[in-house]
Amino acid sequence: MLIAPAPYSAPEAYYFPVAGRMEAIEVRKGSSQIKYGPNTIGGVVNLISSPVPEDFSWAAALEGGEDRTGKVRVKAGDAYENLGWLAETYQIRTDGFKRLDGGGDTGFEIGDYLVKLRLNMDRDAARYQELELKLGRTEEKSNETYLGLTDADFAAEPYRRYAASQKDLMKADHTQVQLRHFTRPGDRVDVTTVFYRNEFDRNWYKLDRVAGEGIGDILEDPLGFGAEMAVIRGATSAPGALNVVAGIRSYQAQGVQSILGARLGGSTVGHDVELGVRYHVDEEDRFQHDDQYQMIDGAMVLTAAGAPGSGSNRVSDARAWALFAQDQISVGRWIMTPGLRIETIDFRRTDYSADDPDRRTPSIVRDNDVQALIPGVGATFSAAPDLDLFGGVHRGFGPPGPGADDGAEPEESVNYELGARYRRSAIEAQGAVFLNDYENILGKATLASGDPTGSGELFNGGAVNVTGLELSFDFDPAAAAGQWSFPFHLAYTYTDAEFRTSFDSEFESWGRVEAGDELPYLPEHQLSANLGLKRASWTVRAAANHIAAMRTVAGSGPIPAGQGTDAVTVWSLVGEWAAEPWGTVFAGVQNLTDEAHVVARQPAGARPGLPRTVQAGVRITR
């Protein structure tokens, strides 16, 4: 089910479910993503929450580490003949690894809660049915900022935070309600229907400008903006010199989805058919304002509070019908999966003037209708008992959203994949080549992307080719040698992404583009490797993850200074001891060599990766 606060009208809503509470996370690509949408270009992340258990069970995990980091996960549940329940919470907090000039928090606190209640018929009922209610709540407070560092300051103190970010704070609340009905009227047919609603409210209060200049421009040219840079570092300023945005947004999404599954065919040909329909409505409500501060000897003092809605006052909404059909056809050693998705979307964006907080009269109304036909087909051939060949061709689609003007087109591509998968004894290997052939790629002017206006305007990027290679290898030479085990994993990704057309763009990360320029924020090489040692109740794992330097602004040739991230190899080490029968004790170190490295330069300035961090904890299961 869709979990994003407004996946059609505002997919970039600064929300992601708490991964630490999830039972499993999987990535769906190729034919398996036809049933999901509206964005179908880069695959789908499927986050699987804890299921209602079949018998009474409980589990707890406690973890602590540097910077007063703490994590707690507790869950319990039970099932009876016709009733089941689950309750779970995940709590995480930290003081943060950055150090704010003058002192103060740079960390976050997140509390996540989940309750499931299931009513079901007897398992052997001829027409089995079950009803499950799912309630979720997430509360977040993060002392996070858009403000990074100049290159000189990063080199001297990479985990510093400037004084001008002392008021930056994100507050967010997410509420989820799902009611799922499942019925199996026959041995080969089932129907799953879900009613859902998500609400997300947030206010990211953050520095935006100094003396009228965008913080991205200042950090990009600190010598040219010397006076503004001094204020950012804490020098006394004129009254109102620091502009802080109260990014108040409210999101709502609700809908109903029903999927029919049918297993047809006989001994020679099998069909696993899925037919689905969804009606979805979502909305983004922006009602933000700007406050002005004066910096006095490193402390920010409010000098003028903005009127509610005076910064951005608008409502964007979307209403969408989506239908899909997919058939997994099994014939001999072949499995073929053709599918088709249809999206029909009505967008509307209603703008109000800054002096109309009651929203009596719209100043601008934009309507935009989008229809998309999204076909795809995948195939797998069992060439040998331990060797599968696979491939697929799928159309990718991304709606332009309610903020699109007449010139903005949907994001569209044709995605190709071809590969092989080998499994034998203690060896598993897979390789695939891929091509994402974009007819049009979209960029969006947001503060997060470094655009000083944050208007949400969309920019066409034209044709783009993204080609690459993915390899993975798993091997345990001692898998059958008794108590000892040496699991080894290696994964490598090569990516080449280029614009195929030349154009001028106001989108910060693109700028002036020539055909053949590389896309920003796509590393050419990524490599991960880990080696484990297991014996009886002990496990030790060492891992290395390498990411090549990548551009932060489109271009060709060597990456200019200040327009790229650092190439980095991050080492980690984890040890576990299974203290049967009650649980597991573990400890680990991330970034073992404590290498400081730039991971991004947007929205404003260089941003560091995690420094060396030690954590330890215990997991208990009953």
Full DSSP string of 347-377? EEEEEE-TT-TT--SEEEEEEEEEEEEEEEE
**pLDDT value for 59:** 95
pLDDT of 430: 97
Q: What is the pLDDT of residue 444?
A: 57
The pLDDT of residue 480 is 62
Task: Kindly tell me if the per-residue pLDDT of 99 is higher than 70.
Answer: yes
Residue 505 has pLDDT above 80, yes or no: no
pLDDT in tens, 135-150: 999 999 999 999 999 9
* Mean per-residue pLDDT, 412-419: 93
Residue 449 has pLDDT above 50, yes or no: no
Regarding predicted confidence, which is higher, 403 or 360? 360
State the average pLDDT over residues 396-409: 76
Does residue 509 register a pLDDT over 90? no
* pTM of the predicted protein model: 0.89
Task: Report in angstroms the alpha-carbon separations of 609 from 332, 357, 395, 492, 569.
Answer: 50, 41, 35, 21, 11
Strands 213-214 and 189-210: antiparallel
Residue 314 pLDDT > 90:
yes
Question: Is the pLDDT assigned to residue 448 strictly greater than 80?
Answer: no
Summary mean pLDDT of the chain:
91
Residue 481 has pLDDT above 70, yes or no: no
User: What sign for the dihedral angle of Cα 548, 552, 555, 561?
Assistant: negative
**Which of 43-57, 272-286, 343-357, 454-468 has the lowest average pLDDT?**
454-468
pLDDT at 34 over 70: yes
Half-sphere exposure of 223 (CA within 13 A, CB side): 2
pLDDT tens-digit readout, 575-601: 999 988 889 999 999 999 999 999 999
Domains assigned to the chain? 425-622 (2.40.170.20)
Confidence (pLDDT) at 377: 94
Lowest mean pLDDT among 178-187, 226-235, 471-480: 471-480
Contact 282, 7 (CB under 8 A): yes
- pLDDT classification of 13: cutoffs 50, 70, 90: confident
**pLDDT in the model for residue 400:** 83
180: three-class secondary structure by DSSP: strand
In 3D space, the residue among 118, 106, 110 whose CA is nearest the CA of residue 73 turns out to be 110
Say whether pLDDT at 553 is over 60: yes
